[in-house]
């Protein structure tokens, strides 16, 4: 009886801790649309999307792409002829306060980091032809902001 109670308590603590490995998904759905300078969609641009875990290829618009979660940023590059639209979606991790204080919480945080489960990207990304935009969901008030990055 005590062993069953202890097991149930540990399982409940893990689920309540926000451990992404226990409660989350290994992938996240992301939509990518290539647009022109007037924000009009440019269907048919060939897009390559990659992070440290996987690479995805398709034509814009790419809706609900199941992107594997990773600590690395998501790099997006869409081409059509000489037109190039680039973007970087910053990978951000979630952290529950309980994860650090529960027994084994530090191990769970490390496991989530190594597997990429605790990270996510903005879900709607609009790359613009002729620009390299950076998408970051951790801005004040949680709004998605894109900033232009100069070419190297």
User: Using one digit for the tens of pLDDT, what is the confidence trace for 22-59?
Assistant: 446 789 999 999 999 999 999 999 999 999 889 999 99
Q: Which residue has the higher pLDDT, 58 or 118?
A: 58
Measured between alpha carbons, how far is residue 69 from residues 87, 93, 108, 148 in Å? 17, 10, 16, 24
pLDDT for the residue 136 = 87
First to last CA, the chain: 64
Q: Which pair of tokens denotes residue 103?
A: 């027994």
Q: Which residue has the higher pLDDT, 72 or 110?
A: 72
Q: Tell which CATH architecture fits domain 2-148.
A: Sandwich (2.60)
Picking from 87, 88, 89, 84, the residue whose alpha carbon sits closest to that of residue 45 is 84
Task: Report the range of poorest mean pLDDT among 14-28, 44-58, 79-93.
Answer: 14-28
């Amino acid at each position: 009886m005590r062993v069953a109670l202890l097991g149930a308590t540990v399982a409940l603590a893990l689920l309540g801790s926000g451990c992404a490995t226990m409660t989350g998904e290994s992938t996240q759905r992301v939509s990518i649309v290539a647009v022109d300078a007037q924000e009009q969609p440019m269907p048919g641009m060939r897009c390559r999307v990659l992070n440290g875990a996987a690479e995805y290829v398709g034509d814009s618009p790419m809706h609900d792409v199941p992107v594997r979660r990773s600590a690395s940023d998501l790099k997006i590059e869409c081409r059509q002829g000489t037109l190039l639209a680039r973007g970087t979606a910053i990978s951000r991790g979630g952290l529950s306060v309980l994860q650090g204080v529960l027994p084994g919480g530090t191990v769970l945080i490390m496991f989530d980091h190594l597997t990429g489960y605790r990270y996510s990207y903005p879900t709607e990304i609009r790359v613009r032809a002729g620009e390299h935009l950076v998408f970051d969901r951790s801005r004040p008030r949680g709004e998605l902001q894109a900033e232009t990055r100069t070419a190297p």
